[in-house]
Amino acid sequence: MITIFHNPRCSKSRNCNLMLAKLNEKVEVINYMKTPFSFDSLSNLIRLLNIEPMTLVRTNEVVWKENFKGKDLSDAEIITAMLDHPKLIERPIVVKNNKAAIGRPIENVLKIL
């Protein structure tokens, strides 16, 4: 099974979701704006992606610039910021067979399918 953590307001996320829908596999679509991550689930996803939490942050978002930019934040504080403001989470994120990829560019997803 493939899981996509999806924000339907994002064109890259919608395009990735459409690509996955064309596969002959079951796809679980999770709109993380409506079904938010828990601290543990987001932490586990970051470990699966094999990245630092900061890599998952959309630093060009106004909420990041106004509230967090330039601050020395711990990993836990960065994760909490993403939980409090889910639009800060880079998207889409696709998981298959204990492998995960951020779908920017979409070719990253193709590598784990």
Q: Which residue stretches of the chain have pLDDT < 70?
A: none
What domains appear along the chain, each with residue ranges and CATH number? Answer: 2-110 (3.40.30.10)
pTM to 2 decimals? Answer: 0.93
pLDDT tens-digit series, residues 47-75? 999 999 999 999 999 999 999 999 999 99
Distances (CA, A) of 71 to 23, 62, 67: 42, 15, 9
Catalytic amino acids? 10
